[in-house]
Amino acid sequence: MKIFRGSTFKADRPWGAEDIANMGGITTRLHWTDEPYKWHVNDGEEVFAVLNGRVEMRYRLSGVEHSTILETGDVFYASIGTEHVAHPVGEARVLVIEREGSV
């Protein structure tokens, strides 16, 4: 048993993470960042929940780029093949659930 404080967690580098669980190859990780990630497509699906802060999520559908602002409590679901990149607005803490070893 362990408690994770999503509102105050801070990693030593952008996108640093605390591993919470690995359930049969599906990982749950708490991330802290103040810098954008990189455009990527996960190896499977991804659930991205903003625990603290704001994140501009950019994603491409049929080659067309879209963007939305995710507020604290919002969840972004990337289906298989969804190209996306997260840009925090200041500091953000996010919970990411995805296949182990995904980008």
CA 25 to the chain's CA centroid: 17
Going across the sheet that includes 55-61, the strands are 64-70, 55-61, 83-88
Helices assigned H by DSSP within the chain: none
CB 101 within 8 A of CB 81: no
- Digit-by-digit pLDDT tens for the chain (103 residues) are 999 999 999 999 999 999 999 999 999 999 999 999 999 999 999 999 999 999 999 999 999 999 999 999 999 999 999 999 999 999 999 999 999 988 7
Residue 103 is predicted with a pLDDT of 78
Distance CA 14, CA 37 (A): 8
SS3 42: coil
pTM of the model: 0.94
Q: Residue 27's pLDDT is what?
A: 97
